[in-house]
A and B are shown apart, each in its own frame.
Chain A
């Protein structure tokens, strides 16, 4: 059953453009995450929000910025994309203190 919704599914853009990805969860969870999965399938945490507050901010380039309007939404904006940003971006949510991560289907970004 899908409860974490990501849009768009795919996005193709050119170097230097700005992109924005959306994520919404309908599980009533307090915590949301963005992960990046690269071409080698490595999954790395980028950001974590708890009830609209940033709690984890890994070493990601400053062109990446998360945006949360409420605890059910966590968007990701990338200003001026680079070729190395090509990846699948996965949004997840969980109850506070983790327990179980629920993932969206991902947004595949291709930077030409």
Chain B
């Protein structure tokens, strides 16, 4: 398969802090999707991007197909943001989205 790399593997934030997660890929992609997997294991869609930037509340994501990366920025972190964040990407000639290994986020009071 094609490598999809997520950084950092783990991240710890205090409530109210902000930080960014990154997803790097080795070839041109159709799009990227970001998920949060909560403590119950449910994969919750945060964003799908085919280009540019999207924002939703405290979350913002960008997709740079040319530079081959995507970012997810979280501001004003809350306890419920804890979980594992995955990016999934699909190459132009591929048929199924592939996942990075995830970033485990812990938000502390």
Contacts and interface: CB of A to CB of B under 8 A. Distances in A.
Nearest to A43: B99
Interface in A27-49: 33, 35, 40-45, 48
Interface in B31-86: 31, 33, 35, 37, 40-43, 45, 48, 84, 86
Interface string B77-109: 000000010101010000111110110000000
Interface residues of chain B: helix, strand, loop or mixed (majority): strand
Contacts of A42: 99, 101-102
Interface residues of B, number: 23
B4 to A, nearest CB: 10
Interface stretch (A16-24, A78-86, A101-109): A101-109
Nearest to A105: B42
B45 A100 contact: yes
Interface of B: 1, 30-31, 33, 35, 37, 40-43, 45, 48, 84, 86, 88, 90, 95-99, 101-102
